[in-house]
Structure 1
Amino acid sequence: MPQVRDLSVVDVPGGCILTSCDISAGFGEKAHDGLVVTPEVTARLTLRVALLEMIASGADVVSVSDVVGAEMEPTGRRIIIGLKEELSKANLNHIELNGSTEENMKVTQTSVGVLVTGFATKAALKLINVHEAAVLFAFGEPIVGEEVLQKMTEMPDYHLVKKLVADSSVLEVVPVGSKGILYEANLLAKLNNRVFKETSSLDEISLNKTAGPASVILTAVKKRDCSIFEKHFSGAQYLGELCGNEEQI
């Protein structure tokens, strides 16, 4: 599996090395930024996306690199502060940052890119892992731009994602970003050679709206365990089923 969604997966002795990445541009305090936010917040939300993708796969984060399209002082320094704050939020304080800033040109628009590297044994990975009847749930709501700034504390957090990955009834966990819930649900089904049958109460706008910095988390759960799962995870929103070929009619 060389690539699964936004993850690259490379087989190595003993398991797999995985990479995930994300970028934010035009969010900051420079002259040509489209949305005015602090560099610290831009950094945190950018790293959040790549970290959640890695953690949701079942892999352990082993390194983080950043590419900052701004000068070190003061913007780059503030971005690095934000990245370290997000690592701390994810209980990854031990991870050392490596990266680069732009010192040769005067930059008038903020840009932050991150690369996260992880490792997992093949048994630990929860990728292309739906081999039985499954139900799809969602946590959170699709928000973007100003909405994110207003509801940052309401988005699904690292603790939830780690708890989902560790649950034996959970087959896969998928962060949703700019392409929306329906796209990711259908892609999850396709990668597992299944079909997503949507029966949720969400309207078309919500299903297709961008979920910004992974403001929604999809979770594929063994159908036989879904009642117990809903009791353990009270915030779960039912979306529909992931059906095999024989169940599509």
Structure 2
Amino acid sequence: MRDVLFLPFADGMELAVAADGSAAVGDKPGDVVSVPVDVVAYFSARVALMELLSVGAEARVVVLQNFIADDRWEALCRGVRRTCRELGIDLPITGSTESNFSTVQSALGVTAIGTVANERKRIGITPEEAKFAVIGRPLVGSAVLSHPEWVAPLSLFVELLASPSVYELVPIGSKGIYYEWMQLSAANGRQGRACACPLPLFASGGPATSFLISYDRAAEGALRKRAGRLFFPLFAER
């Protein structure tokens, strides 16, 4: 249920941990998708931090596992800082680099760690009468770079995260819209409900280029206006 690990931390508080991994995307000879490493870090940090923030947690630190090269460290940090800047947060960055052996393909791990008060967790809080939508299109690989107009901006994610009309937000990962819909449904005690959407339900969402929301039906007009053509309704079977 959701890609976030919760651990007891203090009275009424929990640690929240989210992670993302990337491989064969970067600037090495064996990479399948060629892209600067700061862009790789930007999108990996995007996934981990969206996961963390979407459950109501406050991000505290980002941890990098750099399997690319020691001389890429600053570029990786630059990508993470760009993600943080677009999310309106400022975080310390730590991590480790594989510097003993060279690799022919890029690989990167990003872990985001935060804290969340029990009463602020945004899991399983969608009421029965809620409506649903996907914001952005699920994209993966080179399509992420060639179709930036369909990638949900982090500024929009932050805005909807703060909206009292939005109940839950779920970043869409490599398992696609339907998988995340099933996770959201299960968290709210409604397992096995089918859905329909103008977007492909089983296509990889790559680096969370889109996200699923549950929302107050009275706010649909305002949400559609704000998201524009990035708003795709998702219809749940009752």
**Common topology (TM > 0.5):** yes
1:54 aligns with 2:49: no
Residue 219 of structure 1 deviates from its aligned partner by 0.3
Aligned partner of residue 172 in structure 1, secondary structure: strand
Measure the CA separation in 1 of the matches of 2:160 and 2:232: 14
Which residue number in structure 2 is paired with residue 237 of structure 1? 232
Residue 229 of structure 1 deviates from its aligned partner by 4.4
1:210 aligns with 2:208: no
Deviations along 1:96-132, one digit per CA (max 9) or x if unpaired, are: 1101111111222111101101112222221121243
Q: Identity across aligned pairs (percent)? A: 27
TM-score where L is the length of structure 1: 0.86
Alignment RMSD, CA only? Answer: 2.0
Aligned partner of residue 147 in structure 2, secondary structure: helix
Measure the CA separation in 1 of the matches of 2:45 and 2:171: 13
Matched ranges for 1:187-202 at <5 A: 187-195=183-191, 196-202=193-199
TM-score where L is the length of structure 2: 0.90
Q: Is the 8 A contact 2:156 2:227 kept in 1?
A: no
Q: Where does the alignment leave 5 or more consecutive residues of structure 1 unmatched? A: none
Which residue number in structure 1 is paired with residue 174 of structure 2? 178
76, 81, 84: which is aligned to 2:81? 84
1:11 aligns with 2:8: yes
Deviations along 1:11-59, one digit per CA (max 9) or x if unpaired, are: 3313221010001011111122111111111111111110111111121
Q: Is the 8 A contact 2:7 2:14 kept in 1?
A: yes
1:108 aligns with 2:104: yes
Measure the CA separation in 2 of the matches of 1:230 and 1:71: 43
Aligned partner of residue 62 in structure 1, secondary structure: strand
Residue 87 of structure 1 deviates from its aligned partner by 2.0
Q: Is the 8 A contact 1:15 1:122 kept in 2?
A: yes
132, 144, 148: which is aligned to 2:144? 148
Q: Read off the aligned partner of 1:200 and give its amino acid letter.
A: C
Which residue number in structure 2 is paired with residue 27 of structure 1? 25
Deviations along 1:206-233, one digit per CA (max 9) or x if unpaired, are: 1111111101110011345545544555
Aligned partner of residue 87 in structure 1, secondary structure: helix
Matched ranges for 1:216-231 at <5 A: 216-223=210-217, 225-226=219-220, 229-230=223-224
Q: Read off the aligned partner of 2:207 and give its amino acid letter.
A: P
